[in-house]
Amino acid sequence: MAEQYSIAEVSRLTGLPAHTLRYYEQQFPILLGVERSRGGHRIYRKHHLDIISRIIKLLKDEKVSIKRARELLGEPEAMHSDEQVATETSNESNGHLASMLNLVLERLDLLCRNNESRDILLMNLLKNQPSGQKHELLDQIARCRQENRETIKLCQTVIQRGIKAN
């Protein structure tokens, strides 16, 4: 039986992070047809290490694109038709993404308004309590709520700029 390597071992041997190895597996599904253990863990073999070394050489040393590396290594192009689909559907996706982001903003705004209502109730409760720490707690709550409001404003700005760019 051929020697087996885990993704952590391959990462250590190649110097590539595990997420890069997983990405290469997606980009070269035939050449890097990595087996799986019963538990779902990747099982690399010697020939996988050889292919990864060739991919590294092409991408990093020779500075070729992923597409060109696929061609040079003989990876079938038909496996990558998802790139064409992604290009064709990008305009539809941008509109959908904008509406989803707006929905997220609405939910964040609702959360902030609910938090403000809770804060008022909490402050009224704490006013009647004799404690030296209540001012510190109120300050922390106020800072947290301010950070939430700033995050929402940042999200709104990003969405507006993203929509104008498209």
Q: Domain limits of the chain?
A: 7-80, 86-165
- CATH architecture of the domain 7-80 equals Orthogonal Bundle (1.10)
- For 67, other C-beta atoms within 10 Å of its C-beta total 13
Find the distance separating the first CA and the last CA of the chain, reported in whole Å. Answer: 54
Q: Which residues pair with 5 in a beta bridge?
A: 44
pLDDT at 162: 67
pLDDT at 84: 45
State the pTM of this model: 0.47
Q: Which two tokens stand for residue 85?
A: 């689909």
Report pLDDT for 14: 93
Q: What was the pLDDT predicted at 140?
A: 72
Burial of 29 (0-12, 13-18, 19+ CB in 10 A): middle
The token pair that represents 1 in the structure block: 């039986």
Burial class (CB in 10 A: 0-12, 13-18, 19+), 31: buried
**What one-letter code names the amino acid at 126?**
L
Residues sharing a CB contact under 8 Å with residue 40, sequence separation 6 or more, in sequence order? none
* Nearest by Cα to 144 from 127, 125, 119, 164: 119
Residue-level pLDDT at 110: 66
One digit per residue, the tens of pLDDT, for the chain of length 166 reads 569 999 999 999 999 999 999 999 999 988 898 889 888 899 999 999 999 999 999 999 999 999 999 989 888 875 444 554 444 455 555 566 666 666 666 667 667 776 776 777 777 777 766 666 667 677 777 777 777 777 777 777 777 766 565 5
**C-alpha to C-alpha distance for 66 and 70, rounded to whole angstroms:** 6
CB 52 within 8 A of CB 24: yes
